[in-house]
Chains A and B, each alone.
Chain A
Amino acid sequence: MIKVEGLTKRYARKIAVDNISFEVEKGQIVGFLGPNGAGKTTTMRVLTCFLPPTAGKASVAGFDVLEQPLEVKRRIGYLPETPPVYPEMEVQEYLEFVGRIKGVAKDQLAKRIAEVAEACAISDVRKTLIGKLSKGYRQRVGLAQAIIHNPDVLILDEPTAGLDPHQIIETRDLIKGLAARGDHTIILSTHILPEVEQTCERVIIIAKGKLVAMDTVANLTSRLRGAETVAVEVLAEESQAAAVQRKLEQVAGVSRVLANQHRDGKLNFMVESLEGRTIRPGLARAVIESGWNLNELHAVGLSLEEIFLQLTASPENTRQEEAVAATAAPVGESR
């Protein structure tokens, strides 16, 4: 549905997107993940024909963004970072206007507006001036605008940025609802990692304009989760801490044990496994067979956050950033 090949976008001085290629199949929901300034918005602007690429190709439903922009635009619904709404218009008027310029047939318009207003839960504010709406409502109006012409492809730029937690959940549910109907291909960008875990099937990670990783969310997580870290809490006297630690270290598959805090008769350890080894049953048995009480034992999952750090921080990057951090430390956030 979407095909990007060697896409590069250079602004006056800066390369914002550097030779990235990816494809998105019909009906997929893909997360576009990267820190601020990674080039997410720029890529989306190229896909929506707002900006021409400097080099490379991008096409939507087989239509090239440079050669047949009108065909591409007909098939795309786009929600920019700030919803493109006119504060002086009523919601209903605004949706009528957008419906018309998006080419919704006249006799279908009223029906479509009712449908999208329903889908985006804005039916109750159809007669309200957009300028008077809360940020969450405006975002939903923006989303309604993006789907009014029932586009094949939905491009959402940070759809939950700046919303409060309640509104974030609503917006996510809305997107998931659209995805569940299966007739839209969705790309959504975010710099918040759990967002991708919660809404997307696939994830494309970019940093500094370069594509860093592209995989299913599940694969990406397990690929990086070679070794697991387990938190163990044992009820015992502090004097026994060393003995417990020794016992844990002897369990098969354990690479090292870190003693955390010991307080009020609770001994805490972080146990790291060797690559690809399962150690939790072994740990549990070791503690209990030695006559201690096992209070808690759980795997500390690798969050996307950590995955992301691992992927974007190549060894040289890490070193550089440490160096910068060291020199810039007294100034604080000078980076």
Chain B
Amino acid sequence: MNTFTIARKELNSYFRSPIAYGVMAFFALIAGYFFYVAVVFFVRRGMESAMMGQSFPMDMGEMIIRPLFSNISVIGLFLIPMITMRLFAEEKRTGTIELLLTSPVSDLEIILGKWLGAMILYVAMLAISALSLSVLFVYGHPDWKPILVGYLGLLLQGGCLLAIGTFISNCTKNQIVAGVAGFAIMLLLWVLDWASSFGTTVTDRVISYLSVLQHFDTFSRGVLDSKDIVFYLSVIFVGLFLTARSMESLRWRA
């Protein structure tokens, strides 16, 4: 109950500040651009193959949907610090954290509430991309199953990046610091993803396993793999658990 009260309050703050609109506008712009490029490319290839009289095996899933999901997952990486940076940092700066921590609410409810609020904003952001995807349904018959799997993947990946961001926001009372640190970590994860595409040594395999983006690959191909789901759920758990621990330890050290 308290969790939802706090989640609602977070959402409320997002939409009362420029953050929600900024994040959503930025996302709509970039995701829309990628979608447009993919569609144009798809159409041109289709026309070329038609002109040459070949019957090109046109696969919307492979040519539009999969790259779009991959791109969205990377865009998310860079927008998520903007969503999470203020969660705890701002309350610490203004002192409202004293209200939360002296109310009959558990730390867990506070953390879950904040994470959930961020999650809902993230879902609202994803919903924008669903609008552009729906265009495909108007002009064609793409398979909807991989799309659902893709969105599930985005949800899980977003959840785990948001959990990491929540943790970072709890470590400082300066939301800019939280934002920059979050951004740096996301960048690291991105680089990790690149690095893991080469090499096959054990280290590479470990790096590849730790790379949050790597695990999205199966989802973007429309494949549900329990291994990846478990990975994402564990990262969400660890992120929120670390947040709880840092709240506890900050209290004792303060």
Encode contact with A along B4-27: 1 for CB under 8 Å, 0 otherwise.
Answer: 011001001100110000000000
Is A82 in contact with B95, judged by CB distance below 8 angstroms?
yes
Question: Are the CB atoms of B254 and A80 closer together than 8 Å?
Answer: no
- Chain A residues near B94: list those with CB within 8 A: 82, 84, 86
Query: What's the minimum C-beta distance from B136 to chain A, rounded to whole angstroms?
Result: 38
Interface residues of B in 1-50 (CB under 8 A from A): 1-2, 5-6, 9, 12-13, 16-17
Q: Which residues of A contact B97 (CB under 8 A)?
A: 84
Interface check A236, CB cutoff 8 A: no
Contact (Cβ within 8 A) A80 B106: no
Contact A88 B9 (CB under 8 A): no
- Residues B98 and A84 in contact, CB atoms below 8 Å apart: yes
Determine the interface band of chain B, counting residues with CB < 8 A from chain A: 20 to 34
Q: Which residues B101-120 have CB closer than 8 A to chain A?
A: 101-106
Contact A101 B106 (CB under 8 A): no
Chain A residues with Cβ below 8 Å from B103 are: 73, 98, 101-102
| Contact status B251-A101, CB under 8 Å | no
Interchain nearest-CB distance for A220 vs B (Å) = 30
A74 to B105, CA, bound (A): 9
- The count of residues in chain A whose C-beta lies closer than 8 Å to any C-beta of chain B is 29
For A50, A76, A82, A98, the residue with the greatest tally of chain B CB atoms inside 10 Å of its CB is A50
Task: Check B12 against A101 for contact (C-beta < 8 Å).
Answer: no
Q: Is A297 an interface residue (CB 8 A)?
A: no
Residues of A contacting B100 in the complex (Cβ-Cβ under 8 angstroms): 101
Question: Is A288 an interface residue when CB atoms closer than 8 A count as contact?
Answer: no
The interface residues of chain A, by DSSP majority, are classed as loop
Nearest CB in chain A to that of B254: its residue? A51
Partner of B102 from the list A12, A76, A88, A97 (CB cut-off 8 Å) is A76
Chain B residue numbers with a CB within 8 Å of A45 are 98
Chain B residue at smallest Cβ distance from A87: B94
A80 interface neighbour in B6, B98, B105, Cβ under 8 Å = B98
Instruction: Provide the bound-state CA to CA distance between A98 and B12, in Å.
Output: 14
Alpha-carbon distance between A78 and B16 when the two chains are bound, in angstroms: 26
| A45-B101 Cα distance, complex, nearest whole Å | 10
A residues less than 8 Å from B202 (CB atoms) = none
In the bound complex, residues from chain A placing their C-beta under 8 Å from that of B17 are 88
The reply on A52 being an interface residue by CB < 8 A is yes
A81: nearest residue on chain B (CB-CB)? Answer: B95
Say whether, besides A51-B251, A52-B252, A70 and B106 are in contact (CB < 8 Å): yes
User: How far is B100's CA from A80's CA once the two chains are assembled, in angstroms?
Assistant: 12
B96 within 8 A of partner (CB):
yes
In contact, B13 and A102 (Cβ under 8 angstroms): no
Q: Is the Cβ of B106 less than 8 Å from the Cβ of A84?
A: no
Interface flag for A89 (CB, 8 Å):
yes
Check if A185 is an interface residue, CB within 8 A of chain B.
no
User: Which residue of B has the minimal Cβ distance to A93?
Assistant: B12
Q: Among B12, B104, B106, B254, point to the contact of A102 (Cβ < 8 A).
A: B104
17 additional contacts (CB under 8 A) given A51-B251, A78-B99 = A11-B254, A12-B253, A49-B101, A49-B102, A50-B102, A52-B251, A74-B104, A78-B102, A85-B96, A86-B9, A88-B12, A93-B12, A100-B2, A100-B5, A101-B2, A101-B103, A103-B104
The 9 closest A-B pairs by CB, nearest first: A84-B99, A88-B16, A73-B104, A48-B102, A84-B96, A101-B103, A100-B5, A74-B104, A80-B98
